[in-house]
Amino acid sequence: MKIFIGADHRGFSFKESVFAYLTKRGIETEDIREGELDPEDDFPQIAASAVIKVLGEDDARAILLCGSGQGMAMAANRFNGIRAAVVSDIYEAKVSRVDNDSNVLCLSADVLTRQDDEVWKNILDTWLNTHFAGAARYVRRNRQLDELS
């Protein structure tokens, strides 16, 4: 599995921590915006760059970080085949994968960086290691989501 990671200015520092954690775990990770912090960046372009890469590769996912996670999810979910979920705990991480086969994880830098690092690490580990259940109703619902795009 390959993980594309992107962040706007509010998620930039958090991205550095997440990237280091994933790399240390041996997960193939690509920062879609290497470089310096840009306080004037816009999250829609960052989300679009990441999800286009996810759609272009087999077995790829993305992790997107911004202040609330909400803006990244809104932008990412505009693309057919993307199921972006804003997640703030391990229950949501698990359900987003088991039921909805989420392929983009959106995290709130403002919320998660105020907590112990183990919180976001457990969220990442749960999301990365949980498999889609593949039940007929979940497959049908994902197909319906794609038809809405």
User: Which residues belong to the active site?
Assistant: 66
Rg (CA), the chain: 14
Reading across the β-sheet that carries 84-86, which strands appear in turn? 28-31, 2-7, 60-66, 104-108, 84-86
Strands 60-66, 2-7: pairing is parallel
Burial zone of 1 (CB within 10 Å; 0-12 exposed, 13-18 middle, 19+ buried): exposed
What tokens does 96 get?
A: 């987003």
| Rounded Cα gap, residues 41 and 8, in angstroms | 6
